[in-house]
């Protein structure tokens, strides 16, 4: 069996869909479904079980698994409950790491580009302890992911026991189907698509930095299908371990993202720019762009979808349909 934590979430449910599509029905999801309709992300899937996180330690006793894909986390960059975030994102991950190590089970886990903070130290996925210790995440979520990266890297540096395969994935700005339960953490495209479709004005942030135009704040936007391909490649390539950026390697602006949506619908852009809230101006990232050299050197050659093609596929196959779920 394969265990996917966070399997009812955004990236996790897309991974489960891909596993089912590849003929694997022996998939177990560890997640909480809650009351926000997250179950719809799994409504078309075949599963062995859905295990609440609190029950996972008992469920794992005596189990044999092919791999653990650990994507479950509190992913809100605005989260403020430090104890809850550390228990969920760090300590739970450490227990899974120990279990995978003791039982010789590969572990593929979600890190985050949030570990890079404001980008002052660059976006190089160097897994050495000196490099990781230079990073300064700007929020609680990013720090919790950084703590786990440091723990895994420390064991690797010391020659301590680790799973037979371990891979941490620093996801950049992922967008695509099944993100709808994420509220304000949804991509701007998903949040604003109904406005785009209806011809209503779409608001983007003004720039509060010299030399950067309104709406020209840039991110490394990556389509969720590309992320899933990387994860499936790692599952099929057990000799590869390490910490890897997962982005396209090319930063694009929020304006580009929304213009691609208008182009996908064949409608005239209607974009306005509003002041960024003062409470986030000091911590707002104006630029993120992954370096994906290490992933390529490890042997990955699956490529990445261009922003325009990704938006076109997302709009045509999901956002502009009555059923938006994969």
The verdict on whether residue 168 carries a ligand-binding annotation is no
Does 192 fall in a domain? no
pLDDT of residue 283: 74
The verdict on whether residue 73 carries a ligand-binding annotation is yes
Instruction: Report residue 91 CA to chain centroid gap.
Output: 19
The verdict on whether residue 312 carries a ligand-binding annotation is no
Instruction: Report yes or no: 264 and 316 within 8 Å, Cβ to Cβ.
Output: yes
- List the catalytic residues: 141, 182
> How do 49-51 and 67-70 pair as beta strands?
unpaired
List, for the chain, all residue ranges whose pLDDT scores fall below the cut of 70: none
Does 123 fall in a domain? yes
Residues 6+ apart with CB under 8 A from 154: 129, 160
Backbone φ and ψ for 263, nearest 5 degrees, come out as -65, -40
pLDDT of residue 224: 98
The verdict on whether residue 171 carries a ligand-binding annotation is no
Does 30 fall in a domain? yes
pLDDT of residue 42: 98
Give SS3 for 273: strand
Residues 6+ apart with CB under 8 A from 16: 4, 7, 27, 29, 42, 45, 47
pLDDT of residue 171: 97
Beta bridge partners of 26: none
Does 256 fall in a domain? no
Q: How many domains does the chain fold into?
A: 1
Does 244 fall in a domain? yes
pLDDT of residue 295: 97
Does 274 fall in a domain? no
The CATH number of residue 122's host domain is 3.40.50.720
Q: What angle do CA 228, 242, 302 make, to 5 degrees?
A: 35
Angle between helices 224-236 and 307-314 (to 10 degrees): 100
Number of alpha helices (DSSP H) and beta strands (DSSP E) in the chain:
12, 13
Does 49 fall in a domain? yes
Domain containing 111 equals 2-176+221-250+289-305
The verdict on whether residue 208 carries a ligand-binding annotation is yes
In the Cβ-directed half-sphere of 311, how many Cα atoms lie within 13 Å?
25
Beta bridge partners of 69: 4, 108
Does 196 fall in a domain? no
């Amino acid at each position: 069996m394969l265990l996917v934590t966070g399997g009812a979430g955004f990236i996790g449910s897309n991974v489960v869909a891909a596993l089912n599509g590849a003929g694997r029905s022996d998939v177990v999801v560890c997640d909480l479904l809650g009351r926000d309709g997250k179950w719809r992300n799994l409504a078309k899937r075949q599963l062995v079980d859905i295990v609440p996180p609190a029950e996972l330690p008992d469920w794992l006793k005596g189990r044999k698994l092919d791999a653990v894909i650990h994507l479950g986390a509190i992913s809100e960059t605005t989260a403020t409950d430090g104890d809850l975030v550390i228990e969920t994102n760090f300590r739970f991950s450490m227990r899974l790491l120990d279990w995978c190590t003791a039982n010789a089970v590969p572990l593929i886990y979600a890190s985050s580009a949030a570990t890079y903070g404001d980008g002052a130290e660059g976006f190089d996925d160097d897994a050495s302890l000196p490099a990781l210790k230079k990073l300064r995440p700007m929020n609680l979520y990013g720090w919790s992911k950084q703590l786990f990266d440091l723990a895994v890297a420390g064991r690797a540096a010391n020659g301590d026991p680790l799973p037979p395969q371990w891979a941490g994935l620093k996801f950049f700005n992922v967008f695509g189907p099944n993100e709808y339960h994420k509220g304000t953490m949804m991509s701007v495209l998903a949040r604003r698509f109904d406005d785009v479709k209806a011809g209503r004005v779409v608001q983007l942030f003004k720039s509060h930095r010299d030399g950067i135009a309104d709406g020209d704040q840039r991110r490394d936007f990556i389509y969720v299908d590309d992320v899933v391909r990387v994860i499936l490649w790692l599952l099929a390539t057990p000799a590869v371990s390490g910490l890897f950026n997962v982005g396209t390697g090319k930063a694009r602006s929020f304006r580009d993202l929304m213009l691609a949506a208008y182009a996908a619908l064949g409608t005239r852009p209607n974009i306005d720019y509003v002041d960024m809230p003062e409470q986030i101006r000091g911590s707002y990232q104006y630029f993120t762009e992954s370096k994906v050299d290490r992933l390529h050197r490890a042997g990955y050659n699956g490529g990445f979808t261009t922003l325009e093609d990704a938006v076109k596929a997302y709009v045509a196959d999901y956002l502009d349909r009555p059923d938006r779920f994969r």
